[in-house]
Structure 1
Amino acid sequence: MTFRPRSEFLHVMTTRGFIADCTDLEGLDDRLRAGPVTGYIGFDLTAPSLHIGNLVQITLLRWLQKTGNRPITLMGGGTTKVGDPSGKDEMRRILPVAQIEANADTIHQVFAKYVDYGEGPTDAMRVNNADWLDELRYIDFLRDIGRHFTINRMLAFESVKSRLDREQALSFIEFNYMLLQSYDFLELHRRYGCALQMGGSDQWGNIVSGADLIRRIDGAEAFGLTTPLVTRADGKKMGKSAEGAVWLNEDAMSAYDFWQWWRNVPDADVGKFLRMFSELPVAECDRLGALGGQEINEAKVILANEVTARCRGAEAATAAEATAREVFEKGGIGEDLPTLTLAPADVPEGGITLVQLFVRSGLASSGKEARRLIAEGGARLDDVALTDAGALLDAAALAGPRKLSAGRKRHALVKLEA
């Protein structure tokens, strides 16, 4: 018999495709219907920005709050010093503490666009696990927490097993990560009454261990819920593009490039992504996703606008759409395109090569890639195909904005400072 949730949160999660596994769906459903539930998701602080692969979890917290519950955004100030081995092939680089703290502040800027922070019963809380992990006394921790974990069980979890099966090193410090994340859940339960931990499907072992630890030590009920791994219809991992990660923060990726990523998703992903990342009614998401021909492209514009408006602001979404229409439909230059601004000193007397411009604008990752792009006919200057990789542009040629194009969908402007 198919489970039919009666709580608003689980109903939304089910109909929008957010649920992979839950420790006890019926029990969580009953608990949600009994009153507000405090739930959390932890985030590593390994970079100044999260990417769109994290957007599933951020959206999950937003829906938790919108349905009358209290979300906690747990900053991994302590666990980032260790490194989560889940889904990783090698040990993560250990970051300086100052960098971890700086990353927490920049990452928080995105959270504040999705959830409302405050002191009310359903206002979001920002918590950092360094508050308790940095104060741990190791022997006491092993005695009080470590005794509830068996090596046999830890080796059976996929995050550990997969690394060992591939004969890739798993450091002792990473092996302890499961204990630390489980302890996070226990601390949040004791401090804030947190009864729900959520995360991606690769976190299932850690989440189950945390709920079990609360039951063993405090004799209390706690729940875990995971989301499925979201991949694109073309098989690409959510959050990645040909050029690298698709970042959430403006200073890590322009609003136009962010908008363009969503505009260019495969047709088959439109309905799914609208359900997960917009707040349009599910029926409307399904209708838009079922369109074909030119109409599916307009549905992609709606998707790009919905996500960009939430993550970057309504003005950024409007400007990105206007730039895209100017570039693609009217053949214009698109003043809001990502821009490379050159100082006069950057342009030698003889000129700067087109290869350099493609690399410096981010349209090519290396000179080799730029030359290949030109040789294969994929590079254009002001919509005119380029054939000579050694061609130069001098200061006079750069007096006005020039548009570089790599393929049909990637563009940038080059400007010379006056």
Structure 2
Amino acid sequence: MSAELENELKIFFKDLEWRGIISNHANLENFYHLKPEEKVIYLGIDCTGESLHIGHLFQLIQTIRFAKEGFTILLVLGGATSKIGDPSDKEVERKRLETEQLNNYYHKIKNQVTRLVIRSPLTKTATEIAKKTKLAPLELFYADKPNLLKDIYKIFKISMEDEKEKKWEKYLNYIWPLQDNKFKILNNNDWLSKISFIDFIDKVGRKIRVNNLIKKEFVKKRIDSEVGLSFLEFSYSLLQAYDFWHLYQNYNCHGQLGGSDQWGNLTVGLELIEKFYPGGKTKIFAFNFNLLTDKEGNKLSKSENNGVSLNNSRHEFFDFFRNMTDEQAEMYLKQFTFLSQQQIDELLKLNNPKKLRIPQRILLELEWFLNYGEILNERN
């Protein structure tokens, strides 16, 4: 591997840290030393509800950053693991879902994920969006401030004289620069359903030590609680670890991504693969993201009943971005857009006084695109 590629990955990781995206990482040096053919990562999404929410959108946007760096992204839907549900960060066992309901959730989530990451080529999408919309949000908000709009466009490297299609194409470079040929959607039921319980215990149970599992924070918390932890929930980490091993074997997958409440599960996957391939030759790694939070620092998710569902009305999704505090909007500008540090710094200087709300209105470009692009409602 060339020193140039290693340097590019170091710069990329530094950018992730600056954006406040990375919570923990394991085997960072392995990440830096990946060969081009080893640049494959996966993100798991369980299907325990009928819609993705804003937290999923946050994670999917981060996978696009990896795709832009040449990574292949495996999005693994939990057709099997959704039957259990990840117990991480849960105080009680999840309610058992019937097969019909699980299948319904799976197909809804798959449709949403597909529409988010498998699209028409960029130029075609930009053109179609431009035809369906009269104006972009920035033009609506700053129609009476042409000089300010011109300064914002200059930072975006957009000319006021650009045709609408060209403007949208440039917008998407900063809002949703999707590399659609870099994504594969998989279902872990395709491999977990083919292994018997005895074979699973024989293959995985021999490699993982219980004393390591019970050190995991969520396991200790539940074991010490009055509710306790069922064997069903305890087994979830093993199933997720097996997913990683299967993807390593069959898709050359070297890394796993997840939310910060997933850290215990991610490290079990690393342990399993390292046990199968001792000697430090696997070059596997794991990153987990900071949880998406509201202005009070509370986790945003469907389980906390405060996460905006991507099935919600456009008005509610619009209000989510529009009504952000200045501090939260500045943070989201780093985490939800593909603007560079220099561009964000320049935009924040323009945002004086703050009542101009430039960060909030740039974030509305994302909301505008998701809805007018018909990604959530109708396949392009």
TM-score, length-scaled by structure 2: 0.73
**8 A Cα contact 1:255 1:316, kept in partner:** no
CA deviation after TM superposition for structure 1 residue 113, in Å:
4.6
| One-letter amino acid of the structure 2 residue matched with residue 162 of structure 1 | K
Of 210, 220, 231, the match for 1:161: 220
Alignment partners' CA distance in 1, 2:210 and 2:303: 38
Partner of 1:39: 41
| One-letter amino acid of the structure 2 residue matched with residue 299 of structure 1 | P
CA deviation after TM superposition for structure 1 residue 85, in Å:
0.7
Of 217, 220, 237, the match for 2:299: 237
Point out the structure with the larger strand share: 1
Deviations 1:9-64 (A, max 9, x none): 42442332211111122220221x64551110111101110111222221121111
Of 252, 261, 270, the match for 1:211: 270
Matches within 5 A, 1:97-112: 97-112=99-114
CA deviation after TM superposition for structure 1 residue 117, in Å:
7.4
| One-letter amino acid of the structure 1 residue matched with residue 44 of structure 2 | G
SS at match of 1:226: strand
| One-letter amino acid of the structure 1 residue matched with residue 199 of structure 2 | D
Partner of 2:60: 58
| One-letter amino acid of the structure 2 residue matched with residue 131 of structure 1 | D
**8 A Cα contact 2:30 2:284, kept in partner:** no
Alignment partners' CA distance in 1, 2:60 and 2:7: 22
CA deviation after TM superposition for structure 1 residue 121, in Å:
11
**8 A Cα contact 1:69 1:122, kept in partner:** no
Deviations 1:102-136 (A, max 9, x none): 22222233333543479x99521111001111122
| One-letter amino acid of the structure 2 residue matched with residue 201 of structure 1 | S
| One-letter amino acid of the structure 2 residue matched with residue 256 of structure 1 | H
Select between 19-28 and 160-169 the one with higher mean Cα deviation.
Answer: 160-169
Deviations 1:70-104 (A, max 9, x none): 00110001001112110001111121223222222
Partner of 1:195: 254
Q: Does 1:221 align with 2:224?
A: no
SS at match of 1:72: strand
Alignment partners' CA distance in 1, 2:180 and 2:332: 30
Alignment partners' CA distance in 2, 1:36 and 1:314: 33
| One-letter amino acid of the structure 2 residue matched with residue 190 of structure 1 | Q
Alignment partners' CA distance in 1, 2:262 and 2:92: 17
Count of paired positions: 308
Partner of 1:253: 312
Alignment partners' CA distance in 2, 1:240 and 1:126: 22
Matches within 5 A, 1:332-347: none
Gaps of 5+ in 2: 1-5, 121-178
1:243/1:34 CA distance change after superposition, 3 Å: closer
**8 A Cα contact 1:20 1:227, kept in partner:** yes
Alignment partners' CA distance in 1, 2:200 and 2:375: 48
Alignment partners' CA distance in 2, 1:89 and 1:67: 38
1:311/1:239 CA distance change after superposition, 3 Å: farther
SS at match of 1:41: strand
**8 A Cα contact 1:77 1:104, kept in partner:** yes
TM-score, length-scaled by structure 1: 0.67
SS at match of 1:311: helix
Partner of 2:8: 6
Deviations 1:375-416 (A, max 9, x none): xxxxxxxxxxxxxxxxxxxxxxxxxxxxxxxxxxxxxxxxxx
Alignment partners' CA distance in 1, 2:27 and 2:92: 33
Of 70, 73, 76, the match for 1:74: 76
Partner of 2:321: 262
Q: Does 1:299 align with 2:301?
A: no
Alignment partners' CA distance in 2, 1:269 and 1:111: 26
1:109/1:66 CA distance change after superposition, 3 Å: farther
Alignment partners' CA distance in 1, 2:199 and 2:285: 26
| One-letter amino acid of the structure 2 residue matched with residue 304 of structure 1 | L
Alignment partners' CA distance in 2, 1:102 and 1:159: 29
Partner of 2:50: 48
CA deviation after TM superposition for structure 1 residue 243, in Å:
7.3
Alignment partners' CA distance in 1, 2:258 and 2:49: 18
Of 19, 22, 28, the match for 1:19: 22
Alignment partners' CA distance in 2, 1:57 and 1:316: 17
RCO comparison, higher one (Cα < 8 Å, 6+): 2
